[in-house]
Amino acid sequence: MKTIKVKLLKNPYNIYIKQNLFGNISGYLKAQNLGNFALIVTSRRVFGIYKKNIDKSFADFDRKVIVLPDGEEAKTKTSLFRIIDELIRAGKISRKIFIVCLGGGTVGDVGGFAASIYKRGIPYIQVPTTLLSAIDASIGGKTAIDLREAKNILGTFYQPRAVFIDPVFLNTLDKRRIAEGMAEAVKYAVIDNPAFFNFLAENSAQINSLKPSAILKVIDTCARIKAKVVEADETEKKGIRTILNFGHTFAHALEAASCYKKVSHGQAVSIGMLYAAYLSAESGLCGENELYRIRDLVKKFNLPVKCTCNKTAIYAAMSHDKKNISGKFRLVLLKKIGKVEVVDGVSDKLIAKSIKEFNAFI
């Protein structure tokens, strides 16, 4: 088993990664002494596939399973209060409750949020079942729900007691969801680790076919990078965590411009990273070669490279982005593979020009 320590001053915890770990999770949970009642929060699809495994893995615990809708619909007020109501019901009998978030990033975000606000905080663990949640959302303690007005607008920083990553879950995930996760994996390689970038390029076939050794290496490397960044800047106050937003300013604009329908987050991140690399090359920060290396890598994971959305709409959405500091653009730009820089005050003109010309270059 691989164990990664997230060395936070107040709330340190471990990330455990192992094939078939979920089958033996009860032993680990008992050792952690989290409580005697597990409120298992999951999604419809995951419950449909893994119901028997859940019963078996949690046989030693008093438990209740809450099944939320699939996708972003899990991150609503309704879901949140379903969890809170269940916590209140379970708490009427003297019990020590903990929450298990078993699912993708949506389940992790809402389950973690409920854990953070119920009685000012009860323990929770993350058991991610998508590649994206295994390498990103389950680590770092950002919790949230969406309101109609905006995504992730209600949220807290609240760390889990542990993260249990079992790559076996990925075998039932759609191919396009694996690609989504790989967009974030490429992001980690670009911001932090040139050797990992080469590993991804050389092992794309094994990764796409979910060969256990290759996928374990992807999860382990990405989880270590995320843990390292979170340790350095737990609550995003120092600006260090900002580098995780590489490609995301443009990606969020693309998602908004397409009304969150045409492009998925991972596809948007793929194009967004290329846009950021193009902008970096245009600003003289890196060579064009770096842009083409990223393009060739995302293609290997069946991710798009060209932006097919309305360019005026993208510019408008980018201008509204929350990372747009005091009227100026704040962007994470590329120096070379493995090194990025947060740049404040990128000019509007350059942004507009590069949005127009980007497709021709890629």
Site for ligand NAD, rule CB under 6 A: 43, 45-46, 49, 70-72, 75, 103-107, 109, 129-130, 132-133, 136-137, 140, 142, 152, 169, 172-173, 177, 180
142 is catalytic: yes
161 is catalytic: no
Q: CB nearer to ligand NAD: give 273 or 291.
A: 273
* Smallest separation (angstroms) from ligand NAD to the CB of 108: 6
In angstroms, rounded to a whole number, what is the distance separating the alpha carbons of residues 274 and 89? 49
Q: CB nearer to ligand NAD: give 147 or 195.
A: 147
Active-site residue, selected from the candidate residues 231, 236, 336, 339 = 236
Distances (CA, A) of 247 to 53, 111, 164, 228, 324: 37, 27, 28, 19, 14
Active-site residue, selected from the candidate residues 248, 293, 295, 330 = 248
* Smallest separation (angstroms) from ligand NAD to the CB of 152: 6
* Smallest separation (angstroms) from ligand NAD to the CB of 195: 24
* Smallest separation (angstroms) from ligand NAD to the CB of 76: 11
Which H, E and C letters describe the chain, residue by residue?
A: CEEEEECCCCCCEEEEECCCHHHHHHHHHHHHCCCCEEEEEEEHHHHHHHHHHHHHHCCCCEEEEEEECCHHHHCCHHHHHHHHHHHHHHHCCCCCEEEEEEECHHHHHHHHHHHHHHHHCCCEEEEECCHHHHHHHCCCCEEEEEECCEEEEEEEECCCCEEEECHHHHHHCCHHHHHHHHHHHHHHHHHHCHHHHHHHHHCHHHHHCCCHHHHHHHHHHHHHHHHHHHHHCCCCCCCCHHHHHCCHHHHHHHHHHCCCCCCCHHHHHHHHHHHHHHHHHHCCCCCHHHHHHHHHHHHHCCCCCCCCCCHHHHHHHHHHCCCEECCEEEEEEEEECCEEEEEEEECHHHHHHHHHHHHHHC
184 is catalytic: yes
Q: CB nearer to ligand NAD: give 230 or 291.
A: 230
Q: CB nearer to ligand NAD: give 67 or 362.
A: 67
Active-site residue, selected from the candidate residues 45, 75, 187, 252 = 252
Active-site residue, selected from the candidate residues 187, 234, 245, 282 = 245
* Smallest separation (angstroms) from ligand NAD to the CB of 272: 14
226 is catalytic: yes
293 is catalytic: no
Q: CB nearer to ligand NAD: give 173 or 351.
A: 173
262 is catalytic: no
* Smallest separation (angstroms) from ligand NAD to the CB of 223: 12
241 is catalytic: yes
Active-site residue, selected from the candidate residues 184, 255, 282, 290 = 184
Q: CB nearer to ligand NAD: give 91 or 155.
A: 155
- Catalytic residue IDs: 120, 142, 184, 226, 236, 241, 245, 248, 252, 265
